């Protein structure tokens, strides 16, 4: 039984990881569309959980707001990010008071905003990570006017000679989160005796979480010595430990939401995993930590 479940987890991962690396290599609009696809599906799945729970979020509005947050991240527009969040709250408030029966208005407004932030804002950090080189380096002067027409779709080709480093920035949260999840599953399912939060996720144990943390550490050190020599040992230790902890927290949060709605998986879009949120639950929490750590302590 365990072998069958493990194969269902491994095969989709082996299929998705090369696609992720390939698209992250080119970056730009292609990578934006990939993450926006994840945001759109993930937000839909989240609001489906709320509907199953009996809530009535403004699903279309929430999904659109989540997608706009991803677009704002691509251009690192703090102004439009604030505008999106402010506009979302104002729109929901006005729409709610205009309803004939404004029953449970707090739940409708807050759950819609929560979905846009939980999926849209957190996943947008994957876009921010890929865009770091394009945003922190000064763009060179364009001498050839024929290149200007390429700016809209390929701004990084012209503006950032170090754009490819963003591939490693992007892979860090995936490596930490997915190896932590794999280690926790393999060790926890076989040797897990001491449960952490049985009321939230009965299958998760301290043994599994510790093993997952070790796997996350190993993963980021492999990245360092293979492709990211600019990462210091202290960076790897901090990112590995805090990132693996965040991965487990993200897993617990999604388990809590599914348990509240009495769901095993959010959907069956991805065989062996469930839905997009089932795949990205850990990554959602690791990506912001990796991004802010890199911006404050690594990328100058």
Q: Which helix (H) or strand (E) holds 259?
A: helix 233-260
Helix, strand, coil percentages for the chain (3-state, nearest 5)? 75, 0, 25
Instruction: Measure the CA angle with vertex 156, ends 163 and 121; round to 5°.
Output: 85
Give the 3-state DSSP-derived string for 100-153, with helices as H, strands as E and coil as C.
CCCCCHHHHHHHHHHHHHHHHHHHHHHHHHHHHHHHHCCCCCCCCHHHHHHCCC
296 burial type by CB count under 10 A (0-12 exposed, 13-18 middle, 19+ buried): exposed
Quote the pLDDT of residue 265.
59
**Which pLDDT score is estimated for 150?**
43
Scanning the chain, the segments in alpha helix (DSSP H) are 2-26, 28-52, 59-74, 78-97, 105-115, 122-136, 155-159, 165-191, 206-226, 233-260, 276-293
Dihedral pair phi/psi, residue 85, rounded to 5°: -65, -40
DSSP bridge pairs for 1: none
* Residue pLDDT tens, the chain, 300 long: 445 555 555 665 677 888 888 999 888 899 999 999 999 999 999 999 998 888 889 999 999 999 999 999 998 888 999 999 999 999 999 888 877 676 778 888 999 999 999 999 999 999 999 999 887 764 444 434 444 444 444 444 444 557 788 999 999 999 999 999 989 988 988 888 899 988 788 888 999 999 999 999 999 999 999 999 999 999 999 999 999 999 999 999 988 888 887 776 566 666 556 678 888 899 999 999 999 999 999 987
pTM across the whole model: 0.88
Instruction: Output phi, psi for 265, to 5 deg.
Output: -130, 155
């Amino acid at each position: 039984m365990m072998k069958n479940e493990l194969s269902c987890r491994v095969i989709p991962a082996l299929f998705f990881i090369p696609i992720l690396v390939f698209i992250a290599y080119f970056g730009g609009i292609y990578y934006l569309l990939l993450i926006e696809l994840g945001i759109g599906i993930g937000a839909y799945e989240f609001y489906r959980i709320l509907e199953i729970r009996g809530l009535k979020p403004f699903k279309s509005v929430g999904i659109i707001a989540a997608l706009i947050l991803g677009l704002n991240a691509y251009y690192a527009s703090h102004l439009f990010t604030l505008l999106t969040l402010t506009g979302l709250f104002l729109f929901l408030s006005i729409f709610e008071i205009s309803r004939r029966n404004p029953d449970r208005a707090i739940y409708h407004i807050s759950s819609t905003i929560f979905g846009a932030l939980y999926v849209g804002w957190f996943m947008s950090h994957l876009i921010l990570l890929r865009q770091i080189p394009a945003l922190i380096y000064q763009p060179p002067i364009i001498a050839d006017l024929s290149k200007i027409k390429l700016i809209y779709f390929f701004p990084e080709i012209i503006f950032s000679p170090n754009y490819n480093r963003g591939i490693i920035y992007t892979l860090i949260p995936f490596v930490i989160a997915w190896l932590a999840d794999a280690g926790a599953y393999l060790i926890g399912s076989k040797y897990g005796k001491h449960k952490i939060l049985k009321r939230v996720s009965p299958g998760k144990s301290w043994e599994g979480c510790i093993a997952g943390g070790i796997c996350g550490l190993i993963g980021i050190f492999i990245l360092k010595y293979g492709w990211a020599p600019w990462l210091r040992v202290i960076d790897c230790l901090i990112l590995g430990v805090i990132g693996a902890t965040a991965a487990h927290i993200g897993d617990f949060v999604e388990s809590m939401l599914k348990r509240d709605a009495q769901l095993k998986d959010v959907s069956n879009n991805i065989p062996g995993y469930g839905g997009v949120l089932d795949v990205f639950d850990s990554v959602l929490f690791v990506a912001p930590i990796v991004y802010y750590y890199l911006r404050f302590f690594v990328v100058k």
